[in-house]
Amino acid sequence: MAITLTKEAINRPGFDIDEENKLVFEGCRLEDLASNYGTPNYVFSENIIREKCREHIKAFDKCNIDYEVLYAGKAFLVQAMAHILNEEGMSLDASSGGEIYMALEGGFPAERIYFHGNNKSKEEIYFALEKNIGTIIIDNLCELELVEQIASILNKRANIMVRIIPGVDANTHEKIRTGQVDSKFGIPIQDFLNFFPAIIAKKHLIYQGIHCHIGSQLLNMQFYHLAAREMIEMIKSIEENYKVKTNILNLGGGLGVRYTQEDVPLSISEYVIQLVDRVKEICHEKQLAVPKILVEPGRAIIAEAGITLYTIGAIKEIKGLKKYLIVDGGMADNPRPSLYDARYEALIVNKFAMKPSETVTVAGRYCESGDVLIENISLPRAECGDLMVFFTTGAYHYAMSSNYNGFPRPPVILANNGKHGLMVQGETYQYLNQNHVIPDWLQQNRNKYNGNNSK
């Protein structure tokens, strides 16, 4: 039974319903995007990306403090994204030499790049210093020595911040917690003061501040408040013990977004104002000047700006147990459900105005039993060839995608008020093989074996 829906009934940013009751995203019909680019494909809203950047900056501007908003490139980074971020006045948290290269190729200024990572290679550090990136986030003492050594060879001085494990165990999935005592990231807070003399003794490194990150998809402020207190108390201890001023406090990212109706995230404005107020309160209590505050939103900017389109292929019903809708993508273009039980909402695009009539499981096409995207979703009765849209797929989808089973990765599309164009071309079979080589001794025997195996 068909019903007429309104824009409000969809209740997702960027979505609307046109005059022919067709579902559109950023003014582009989803059916047309599927027809033009094939499926699966990723689609991003330029307007939502820019709005999320501006919400962060506007909120900080109201707080009357020194600040910097660093987009976490690991969530999603391509050259077009780097271009947009630069236009919006954002800085960048890059976690590899490849992300730095991509950003620079997209015209992003090197001085606004912060280089993260818990095991940076010599090659990456050389590259970052040669390109004069703004700041290196030191993760451990081995890295401290390595960066000093390379900076000395290059006769350069590098701004550094140091990552600390604050000992805050955030209430999120265990695989996206990063601030607990047992973490591969950073220096434990209880050890940091003992290591601090080694940090400030480096001739080629300029100590700027400290950094922490407690986890991802956080839906309340209590863990940020705990981390802020631990970090500001460390700033006070540094000043008392070593008479060194800490100019910058980086409190990381992790603000949650809406994947399903059960998720009720804070607004960006609420998050920023509460965070800054807490920092000011603790600094006043400790008789400290408020340092420059850095945050690293990734998911909060890009997640809801992205959607993914799939086509339903096989439909398989196991009597009395389950009905599967199998789409033309899955864990290689969205590994999050397999990695940490991520949950999603979705619609059948060409039947979005029909009432749900069955409960099904949406599975992928990859050769793994765990390749399931959504368990137990209520949808109208599906048919082969129906088009599906998954919401909130901007973060950690394309960035974590793979060529598992030899499938090319999907195209990445940017949409804006009825316009659409490629940010990344879809891969081809030829692309998958472009770096393959056959060692000489195998190549020499190739002709010998061709044609000789059938008798």
- Cα–Cα distance for residue pair 391/346, rounded to 1 Å: 6
Rounded Cα distance between 294 and 140, Å, is 20
Complete DSSP assignment for 85-102: HHHTT-EEEE-SHHHHHH
DSSP 338: H
> How many H helices and E strands in the chain?
14, 21
Quote the CA–CA distance of 171 and 218 in Å, as a whole number.
Answer: 7
Of the listed 63, 142, 283, 367, which one is catalytic? Answer: 367
Q: Are 53 and 87 in contact (CB under 8 A)?
A: no
* DSSP result, 360-414: EEEE-SSS-TT-EEEEEEEESPP-TT-EEEESS--SSSGGG---GGGPPPPPEEE
Specify whether the CB–CB gap between 407 and 37 falls below 8 A: no
Asked if 196 and 238 count as a contact pair (C-beta separation under 8 A), the reply is yes
CB 156 within 8 A of CB 204: yes
Residue type, 45: S
**Distance, CA of 201 to chain centre:** 35
Q: Known catalytic residue: 367?
A: yes
Closest to 82 in 3D by CA, of 110, 41, 57, 43:
110
| Beta carbons of 94 and 114 less than 8 angstroms apart | yes
Catalogue the active-site residues: 367
